[in-house]
Chain A
Amino acid sequence: AQSVAQPEDQVNVAEGNPLTVKCTYSVSGNPYLFWYVQYPNRGLQFLLKYITGDNLVKGSYGFEAEFNKSQTSFHLKKPSALVSDSALYFCAVRDRGSTLGRLYFGRGTQLTVWP
């Protein structure tokens, strides 16, 4: 069965410091992996995805994520956090065998960047 774990409900970081939001996954085959961000009372905005190729994926707003197959992880990172990065972040996985493209979401991590 497919599942996604985001072990931290909350991540706090000072502005200008690097940030990491953790994600591990479990899927039967090779996964498609995604990160989304959600601002209050809004839908999800796409940040980045890993489909194949280079394990380091660069996305929107300076975010990047590294796919680690041996550790089944896909941690989201940013070298220098901004206050405006404060939001709820979701990791998601899609089974390559899924024709409908269903996504399985982690429970979300609330990122707070302090000025």
Chain B
Amino acid sequence: GAVVSQHPSWVICKSGTSVKIECRSLDFQATTMFWYRQFPKQSLMLMATSNEGSKATYEQGVEKDKFLINHASLTLSTLTVTSAHPEDSSFYICSARSGGWEAFFGQGTRLTVV
């Protein structure tokens, strides 16, 4: 199956700093990418949907200026958590699809803000 690589797997940052998470489709072109946030023992919450070359569409309640999403190419999307605070600590997962039935998921990034 198609592979989506997400980096880093783990990141610890100081409060007030910014963190960038990368999501790459390794063997297919991802026309659409999705970014999710998952709280412990809870489901995935969709944060935003992005199409290559266009602005991301954010879900209601998600701060656009805090969670910057860039989908600059058909194989790369990035999520930047700006001015991170402890409440931003979470598990972030990206997903990508090329237009077929399936969405392929990255391995996730555990963000801890101290």
Q: Hey, which bits of chain A sit against chain B, CB under 8 A?
A: 32, 34, 36, 41-46, 49, 51, 90, 100-103, 105-108, 110
Whether B76 sits at the interface, judged by CB under 8 Å, is no
* Contact residues of B between 87 and 103, Cβ < 8 Å to A: 91, 93, 95, 97, 99, 101-103
Give the CA-CA distance A34 to B104 in the complex, in Å.
12
Least Cβ distance of A36 to chain B in Å? Answer: 7
Question: Which residues of A are found within 8 Å of B4, using beta-carbon distances?
Answer: 43
B103 with A103: CB separation less than 8 A: yes
B106's nearest neighbour on chain A, judged by CB, is: A43
Residues of A within 8 A of B32 (CB): 100-101
B46 touches A49 (CB 8 A): no
Contact flags (1/0) for B22-53 with A, using CB distance below 8 Å? Answer: 00000000001010000001111010010100
CB-defined contacts of A36 to chain B, threshold 8 Å: 105
B105 touches A43 (CB 8 A): yes
Please tell me if B107 contacts chain A, counting CB pairs below 8 Å: yes
Additional A-B contact list (20), CB under 8 Å, known A102-B34, A102-B46: A41-B91, A41-B108, A41-B110, A43-B4, A43-B105, A43-B106, A44-B44, A44-B105, A46-B1, A49-B102, A90-B43, A101-B97, A101-B99, A103-B95, A105-B43, A105-B44, A106-B43, A107-B42, A108-B43, A110-B41
